[in-house]
Structure 1
Amino acid sequence: MELTKSLWTESDRIPFLDYLKSLKNNEKEDWARKMLNTRLPLLVLPTPRVNEMVKAIQKGDYFSFLELNIDDYYETIAIQGKLISMISDFEIQSKYLSTYIYKMENWAHVDIMSFTNIEMYKQKFIHLSDEYILSDKPFIRRLSLMILFQLVKDPKILPTFFKRLNQLKDETEYYVIMMAGWLLSECIIKYKDETLAWLKQNDLNEKVQNKGIQKCRESRRLSQIEKDELLAYKK
């Protein structure tokens, strides 16, 4: 099917879905469902194939594709997420994000959001993160942390990372805690002295702190001595 279109219309919906269904991998569906922990219908399309589709759609009028809101499968929502994360104009991107965040049904719908314009609109993304962390939806809170994770190379934002982690004192959702642990581990690895000094002065969520220490101890970026020293920070 030709995916690079000058305009997507409602008449393209069924042919597009038929094309996707023709690629379905029935053999791996049970495995993929367990891995993603999703209740959505699954096609189990290989990630490289999905990425090829995204690139082809993006070469045309992909905004008209997004307007179709093809939400039938895990993969069709993932394709939307990938396209939205590639939008260069933040205001337009925000418009589509405001709908997409309520479609996110599993951790992968969050983790595919690699924002190509995040450095250009750093402060606006931080404001989004501030907003999303207050949501009652766990995957929106996970996206709040995912946004900061993509900014972790900037030492000037370290206080923001610490503030965000402190906001999770009562967090109980597994997928939020996992992402918070990843963020904490990155802070420790990249800004070890500052982060450990902060940990000593703050009563962090026990599960977040222990997950962060665990991820550090699994990393190849720290020496064994450094890993052993982190055991003192386990709760």
Structure 2
Amino acid sequence: MNKCRFDLCEIDPWKIRAELEGMAEEKYRNFAQALIPDSAQMLGVRLPGLRKLAAKIAVFNPLSYLKSDDEKYFEETMLKGFVIGLLKIDQEEQLELVAHHVKRITDWSLCDSFCCSLKFASKSQGRVWEFLMPFLQSEHPFSVRFAVVMLMDYFIDAEHLDSVLSILDDLPSDNYYVSMATAWALSTCFVRFPDKTMRFLEVSHLDDDTYGRTL
């Protein structure tokens, strides 16, 4: 994989795009496109390379770059998500960036990778829980999936389990990607809290497809 070729002290979106284009691998692009058929135009940059580049960008708190919506490639959107997760800024400002970025999510990979990069959520559960609730009511499936995956990643614990199960039971299931995320979260609940989750499944209101995907 090519190394970064330019100085990121000045965050220039065009230089970042050129760097990503230089990191592209055709074979990896073909592999990734098969896994994410509904993705935006893809270059074929591996995730470790994106994370390394994100770490270099995040040092400079590039807020104007993160607030711009000029992404051409899948990797540009993924990169911005990783940068947001690495920022050391005021929590409310960071959550504002998160909310803005959720609007960019158009496939399961962008969603799930973004969620796992938001490590600060585990240290601010109360505020992040409150922040997530409106996304569960969204008309946009990937906004709902974002909230579900965040609940799975950061809130399946003894304190939140009952609330998480209740939320998952009430979610609409007419979208495949929401249903899959719900089933994934419930499977994680079962691994960590098998008895309570099994009792929930026995009386849940899950549709047959989501229930089947959970097992």
TM range (shorter): 0.7 to 0.9
Look up the match of 1:141: 144
SS of corresponding position for 1:118: helix
**Paired position in structure 2 for 1:122:** 125
Specify every segment of 5 or more residues in structure 1 that has no aligned partner in the other structure, as ranges. 214-235
**AA paired with 1:21?**
E
Q: Does 1:103 align with 2:100?
A: no
Q: Distance in 2 between matches of 1:132 and 1:102?
A: 11
Give the CA deviation at 1:110: 0.8
Provide the residue aligned with 1:32 in structure 2. 32
How far apart, in 2, do the equivalents of 1:90 and 1:167 lie? 29
Q: Are 2:59 and 2:87, in contact at CA under 8 Å, matched by a contact in 1?
A: no
Distance (whole Å) between structure 2 residues aligned to residue 14 and residue 65 of structure 1: 11
Deviation at 1:93, TM superposition (A): 1.4
Specify the code of the residue in structure 2 equivalent to 1:164.
I
Higher radius of gyration, 1 or 2 = 1
Please, what TM-score do these two structures have when normalized by structure 1? 0.81
* 2:58–2:84 Cα contact (<8 Å) kept: no
Contact 1:165 1:180 (8 Å CA) reproduced: yes
Equivalent position of 1:163 in the other structure: 166
Distance change in 2, residues 1:83/1:196 (3 Å): same
Note if contact 1:13-1:68 (Cα within 8 Å) is conserved in structure 2: no
For 1:4, which of 2, 8, 12 is the aligned residue? 8
Letter in 1 for 2:23: L
| Distance change in 2, residues 1:131/1:147 (3 Å) | same
What is the number of residues matched between the two proteins?
208
Q: 1:209 maps to which residue?
A: 211
Cα deviation 1:77-100 (Å, max 9, x = unaligned): 001111122335320112112221
Distance 1:133 1:47 in 2: 28
Is the 2:61–2:87 contact (alpha carbons within 8 Å) kept by the matching residues of 1?
no
> How many percent identity over aligned positions?
18
**Deviations for 1:159-179, whole angstroms, at most 9, x for unmatched residues?**
1111111112x4121111111
Paired with 1:138 and 1:144, the residues of 2 have a C-alpha distance of 10
Shift of 1:180: 0.8
How much has 1:101 moved relative to structure 2?
1.1
| 1:129, distance to aligned residue in structure 2 (A) | 2.5
Q: What is the root-mean-square deviation of aligned Cα atoms in Å?
A: 1.9
What secondary structure is seen at the aligned counterpart in 2 of 1:33?
Answer: helix
2:46 is equivalent to residue 46 of structure 1: yes
- State the 1:153 CA deviation: 4.4
Query: Following TM superposition, by how much is the alpha carbon of 1:183 offset from its aligned partner in structure 2, in angstroms?
Result: 0.7
Report if aligned partners of 2:156, 2:189 keep a CA contact under 8 Å in 1.
no
What are the ranges of 5 or more consecutive residues in structure 2 without an aligned counterpart? none
